[in-house]
Structure 1
């Protein structure tokens, strides 16, 4: 376990002040600095480090990241993609969301086709991939056994997603949610933040579209408020279980991303989507 407080006085996620420190993080960089040191979930810490020690044969000569994985992409995005959790030999190895596995190959190829990424592949953290107008995150930031986080683990990781959503609220207008786990996690976060989430909560489905609203303070507005809108788009997860069976096709994912571009008001891509 990391100590409760670093020698320089920085609060770490194991300190009692961890939720407050994350909640009050003034920027994405400060939020990520807390995140990568987190050891709040013993089961996830043990698993991510075990995977890094044992390794997959194809990666036996690589040094695994084996830490919580920060979000990745544009710092002022119109679209936020919400997944599930890092893959054991993908993001847990490379240190970047959806990087180094076939799920990421499928996702970033679609982003490239729709003008949101500068290249169709995501192999390693220094491969030159850049996202424009879009950012990728997850409710759980450590690789879980069997890709199944426990409810308590999602709750412990919740402050990171919540603070990121708030930090991005000035620009994000659309959330593309990959799968039912992310859908429920994001709706729970948004309800806590005052968004008008219907009751009963909207059910996840591929192609689901739900627009939420809330009143939020205007920065330096002397108490004035403004209405914010956020549209959630449901999409089957880009897992191999879905992409290899044809449950999720490239055209289906492209369609969701094109719709997200429209709703976010992003300019049309230079290259038409085929």
Structure 2
């Protein structure tokens, strides 16, 4: 007679999807279209990037077509990465130089970066089912960071996905830029996404963005 397996005996969620992850048909089709047009691009689920002993996790929404989908490193190759990595360098969460390519030698210090959805979505807008399919990898990433204390979410979609990845209701946290709340053993800080749209319209300024990471640093130093 076969023996049953208890939930506690199940393996933990993987922190990284397969290189040819098949979970989301729409994203697979988009990935293959990009592969056909640009075979020299990365064109796959963007892996997390950073320090495996990080106490700070930064969670974006999804790779940009011309950013991480092209280069294979989160927030690398599009405007959002300029503001993010310059801020991390300024606050001591990175060292080296950001040159918008994965071989620029940039290193993260006490920090990891990932996305709620790992494949580039058409129009930069993942569907709810795609967020759900990919959440296991966000859960796995969080669980793989033994020293994690602070999570910075870039945008409310990222914030809701982090809460769900932690087994909480999406409504459990506080929305809006600069919000701060406890989620299980972690402190979550939410920022507007560092997209060109938000910065060009003045919805997000560099000082506003830096203030979120200054608060993260204060929490870790404290």
TM, length-normalised to structure 1: 0.73
Q: Please tell me whether the aligned partners of residues 108 and 122 of structure 1 are also in contact (alpha carbons under 8 angstroms).
A: no
How far residue 203 of structure 1 moved from its aligned partner, in angstroms, is 3.2
Correspondence for 1:40: 23
Q: Please tell me whether the aligned partners of residues 175 and 232 of structure 1 are also in contact (alpha carbons under 8 angstroms).
A: yes
Q: Please tell me whether the aligned partners of residues 160 and 170 of structure 2 are also in contact (alpha carbons under 8 angstroms).
A: no
Q: Please tell me whether the aligned partners of residues 39 and 45 of structure 1 are also in contact (alpha carbons under 8 angstroms).
A: yes
Correspondence for 2:164: 188
Would you say 1:158 and 2:135 are equivalent positions?
yes
Would you say 1:88 and 2:65 are equivalent positions?
yes
**What is the rounded CA distance, in whole Å, between the counterparts of 1:73 and 1:199 in structure 2?**
26
**What is the rounded CA distance, in whole Å, between the counterparts of 2:183 and 2:24 in structure 1?**
31
**What is the rounded CA distance, in whole Å, between the counterparts of 1:138 and 1:162 in structure 2?**
11
How far residue 54 of structure 1 moved from its aligned partner, in angstroms, is 2.9
How far residue 22 of structure 1 moved from its aligned partner, in angstroms, is 6.2
Residue of structure 1 aligned with 2:33, choices 45, 50, 60: 50
How far residue 89 of structure 1 moved from its aligned partner, in angstroms, is 0.9
Structure of greater relative contact order (alpha carbons < 8 Å, 6+ residues apart):
2
Q: Please tell me whether the aligned partners of residues 160 and 171 of structure 2 are also in contact (alpha carbons under 8 angstroms).
A: no
1:41-99 deviation line (CA, Å, top 9, x unaligned): 111011123234335xxxxxx81000111010111111100100000011000001000
Across the aligned residues of Structure 1 and Structure 2, the Cα RMSD in angstroms comes to: 1.9
1:127 is paired with a residue whose SS is coil
TM, length-normalised to structure 2: 0.89
Correspondence for 2:175: 204
How far residue 202 of structure 1 moved from its aligned partner, in angstroms, is 2.4
How many residue pairs get matched? Answer: 213
**What is the rounded CA distance, in whole Å, between the counterparts of 2:206 and 2:171 in structure 1?**
31
Q: Please tell me whether the aligned partners of residues 86 and 92 of structure 1 are also in contact (alpha carbons under 8 angstroms).
A: yes
Q: Please tell me whether the aligned partners of residues 135 and 165 of structure 2 are also in contact (alpha carbons under 8 angstroms).
A: yes
Correspondence for 1:124: 101
**What is the rounded CA distance, in whole Å, between the counterparts of 1:128 and 1:184 in structure 2?**
32
How far residue 242 of structure 1 moved from its aligned partner, in angstroms, is 0.5
User: 1:15-30 to 2 correspondence within 5 Å?
Assistant: 23=13, 25=14
